[in-house]
A and B are shown apart, each in its own frame.
Chain A
């Protein structure tokens, strides 16, 4: 892939893209799913101090506040509740769905929003402005030559194995 971009204008470029492996629908969907995972993550990076044992001590309470009379023995550490809880979100959602089905009530799944009826708007994956062109290889969009080059050099799926 070292052919100079300048030499690849017009039909020459088209030919070049035909030669490329066209990224199939499954990979495009996988790309979108991966993107959504990143967008829904609490953090992008790993816990910087995952290996360190953090001080689990709850900070001392403010002296300005009235002192608690709560008996010490009633205090349970967070792990106690977590162990007792022992559930995964998908498990809870499934339980909710099953119970709802059984009793005929509404459930979490009923809140799901329908697909949109409005037409999709298309944006350049590089600069974010409106785009008219689709990358023949991977289906992402760009708005012009400059952004196309940038796309080819960076996020184009042709690089994906």
Chain B
């Protein structure tokens, strides 16, 4: 276990406190200044203030606690360390009465048969605090400590206010953390993908297939595009339960052995690349059947963990060992992710949902999204998962679009890694809410800041879509030259110019353009041009303000913002003013983390 030594944290603390001193305006009004000056004893080596204002700089603050709080496993660790993947639950076993196993304490248990789960989440949301709280207590007492540290943690989409309130109370009041930032796991994955995988800002789709469900989340202009977000109610839990059910029906009663069968699933299941062909092979008998595998179940005596029996070594299996024969189960189980209808659910599968999600996004962005599909979450670990997502999505989309699916080296910890990277980004300072801020403004402040969906407007993006479907750039090309649609787009190679991509939907646009140009430049096309230039200049503004962003002003603005909060929610005018202002300090990369910012690109809240 590698938590920082006392000395180290002391040093980091002093750097931090000195830096805080650089911003006297921001903090002078805070009541806890006493505290800070007390810690301010040894403060020689400071990063120069000018350096900290640059957004790409690495932020040398105290290491943060990064917690990706999944509904089955917690991904936990200090930002200067590697994450641990441990159960986010309590467990009971048949063999040991009177003992609750919390999280990875289960490693101490010898007989795992009939393991009973006490899970904290329902539908992905923390509902059982009598489970979650002891697990967090355990984690922060035994895996890494949180006290006086900044914490970056995940929460599900639309995490409810009541849940966020309790989370705040536990972390700020009981654990006495220094500061906190909460984001959706997909936000962190998006951050990691754009910053450390492709190395540039791009629209993308994050597919997070976890324990409870699978969410497909498009990011446009750095933000979640709420209209396109879809959730499939198939996750790892359902797959394990399904495998349990069919094994119990066909071979051996294992309904009580969720823990063991989950391991069977992890050890043997894969996503088929040719379902019909695999069905055929699994139907063969003898050596022709290359799919069938024998699995040796654990007996918790000599075998603690089950394993796939290698072909030909039937001899060394201990007597009394139970063997499962896995044939089409190996690939029909993960297949539910792709065809939930296989078990009678009416929902779309992952590829269909991705395509649907792309279609819901502005046409200009669609080819870009297809090029940047990121798969994360436990189910992405199935062999063949990524390849299948690719080939199915590929088959749905136009041939001339490039489809690319990215699977991180470790899909389970990718969001955690994003949290780590973000915590080392200087921007984190403006995202964190400090204990003092929480104490001053309460939980409604954290809710506003950490819940970007609160600021969405359903109508807005329909109107906006009307605007963005009229694509000024493409139009001007069409108007000024005699290109046909085929010339322009038919042979289109998205690799080269992704900025000027058009899809079928733009047919309408073309017609209006031709009409417009025939009858001279009438008002409608002019106004479109205006929108275009206005947009460009705004983008420029944003860039300028990005590079020379002044954190002091930023903090002030945030404060002002929250003071205006009440006024804002009641009057729409106030809303626009404030947000127009905050759009200046908006940075592209962290867009999705700023709940209060204004989308300069789309002219609306997203």
Contacts and interface: CB of A to CB of B under 8 A. Distances in A.
Interface of A: 32, 35-36, 38-45, 47-49, 52-56, 58-62, 64-66, 68-70, 74-79, 81-82, 84-85, 87-89, 92, 95-96, 103-108, 110-118, 120-121, 123, 126-130, 154-155
A53 B3 CA distance: 34
User: Among the interface residues A48, A95, A112, which one has the most CB atoms of the partner chain B within 10 A?
Assistant: A48
Interface in B112-163: 114, 116-119, 122-123, 125, 127-134, 137-138, 141-142, 144-145, 147, 157-158, 160, 162-163
22 contacts: A36-B345, A39-B241, A39-B242, A39-B343, A49-B98, A49-B116, A52-B97, A58-B138, A62-B142, A78-B129, A81-B169, A81-B170, A89-B127, A92-B160, A106-B226, A106-B229, A106-B453, A106-B456, A111-B230, A113-B231, A120-B342, A129-B328
Nearest to A41: B241
B440 interface: no
Contacts of A56: 134
Nearest to B126: A85
A113 B56 CA distance: 38
Given A41-B241, A43-B256, 5 more contacts: A44-B241, A78-B134, A92-B162, A95-B160, A130-B279
Q: Interface residues of A: mostly helix, strand, loop or mixed? A: loop
B102 interface: yes
A70 B147 contact: yes
Contacts of B170: 81
B130 A65 contact: no
Contacts of B327: 128
Contacts of A127: 250, 328
Given A39-B238, A65-B145, A89 B244 contact: no
B130 A79 contact: yes
B274 interface: no
A105 B457 contact: yes
Given A55-B99, A85-B166, A45 B256 contact: yes
B352 A118 contact: yes
Nearest to A123: B342
A88 to B, nearest CB: 8
Given A43-B116, A45-B116, A81-B166, A74 B176 contact: yes
B99 A155 contact: no
A40 to B, nearest CB: 6
Contacts of A60: 141
Contacts of A52: 97-98
A147 B158 CA distance: 45
Contacts of A62: 1, 141-142
A124 to B, nearest CB: 10
User: Among the interface residues A68, A74, A126, A155, which one has the most CB atoms of the partner chain B within 10 A?
Assistant: A68
B348 A114 contact: yes
B19 interface: no
Contacts of A116: 339-341, 346-349, 352
Interface residues of B, number: 96
B114 A45 contact: yes
B166 to A, nearest CB: 5
B99 A44 contact: no
A59 B138 contact: yes
A78 B128 CA distance: 9
Nearest to B451: A105
Interface in B76-108: 92-94, 97-100, 102, 105
A78 B117 contact: no
B341 A111 contact: no
B99 A54 contact: yes
A108 B349 CA distance: 19
Closest 7 CB pairs of A and B: A61-B141, A78-B133, A111-B231, A81-B129, A44-B255, A45-B256, A106-B226
Contact of A115 (B6, B226, B346): B346
Contact of A92 (B125, B232, B242, B329): B125
Contact of B245 (A38, A64, A77, A118): A38
A65 B144 CA distance: 8
A95 B232 CA distance: 22
B160 A115 contact: no
B353 A113 contact: yes
B565 interface: no
B36 interface: no
A127 to B, nearest CB: 7
A53 B147 CA distance: 31
Nearest to A119: B341
A106 to B, nearest CB: 4
Contacts of A107: 158, 453
A59 B256 CA distance: 27
Contacts of B141: 58-62, 65, 68
Given A39-B241, A47-B92, A49-B97, A128 B255 contact: no
Contacts of B352: 116-118
Given A105-B454, A129-B328, A40 B241 contact: yes
A106 B458 contact: yes
Nearest to A64: B1
Contacts of A36: 345
A85 B238 CA distance: 27
Given A45-B255, A95-B160, A55 B142 contact: no
B356 interface: yes
Contact of B129 (A68, A69, A85, A89): A85
Contacts of B137: 58
A53 B92 CA distance: 12
A72 B129 CA distance: 19
B246 interface: yes
Contacts of B250: 126-128
B588 interface: no
B249 A113 contact: no
A64 B176 CA distance: 21
Nearest to A83: B129
Given A62-B1, A106-B456, A121-B339, A43 B145 contact: no
A153 B292 CA distance: 26
A68 B158 contact: no
B538 interface: no
B116 A129 contact: no
B316 interface: no
Contacts of B421: none
B199 interface: no
Interface string B528-552: 0000000000000000000000000
B15 interface: no
B344 interface: yes
Given A105-B457, A128-B332, A89 B344 contact: no
Contacts of A49: 92, 97-98, 116
